Amino acid sequence: MKKKVEIVVYGAEQICPSCVNLPSSRDTFEWLQAAIARKFPGQPFAIEYVDLFNPPDEGKKRAFARKVIEEDMFYPVVVIEDRVVGEGNPRLKEIFAELEKYGYKPGTESGK
């Protein structure tokens, strides 16, 4: 594995109006965190949840949260290393494929 990848899930407590009957953003964040840990055991990654309506003061994350709202993107929005890989109802297959580009290996400890 080349480096510890940063994953950011942008969402809100209120479910996206176009995403009725889908899990909440927070539920998606927790599900994604568990799924990645199972698929890539022992391989470190950083995952963070950012509330669209109360983002951190960090400029980049605050700016992207504003973009999600202004562009009416479906949330949650999953971003890996500044690349959007899922929106509304993120697909594990696409997220896993993106992580593999960074050297993550399915089912192996420490990418060995």
pLDDT tens for residues 65-98?
A: 999 999 989 899 999 999 999 998 899 999 999 9
Full residue range of the structural domain in which residue 10 is found:
5-111
How many structural domains compose the chain?
A: 1
Task: Label residue 13 exposed, middle or buried (CB < 10 Å: 0-12, 13-18, 19+).
Answer: exposed
Give the neighbor-by-neighbor strand order of the sheet with 83-87: 45-51, 5-11, 77-80, 83-87
Which CATH number goes with the domain that contains 18?
Answer: 3.40.30.30
Question: What tens digit of pLDDT does each residue of 10-20 get?
Answer: 999 877 666 66
pTM of the model: 0.90
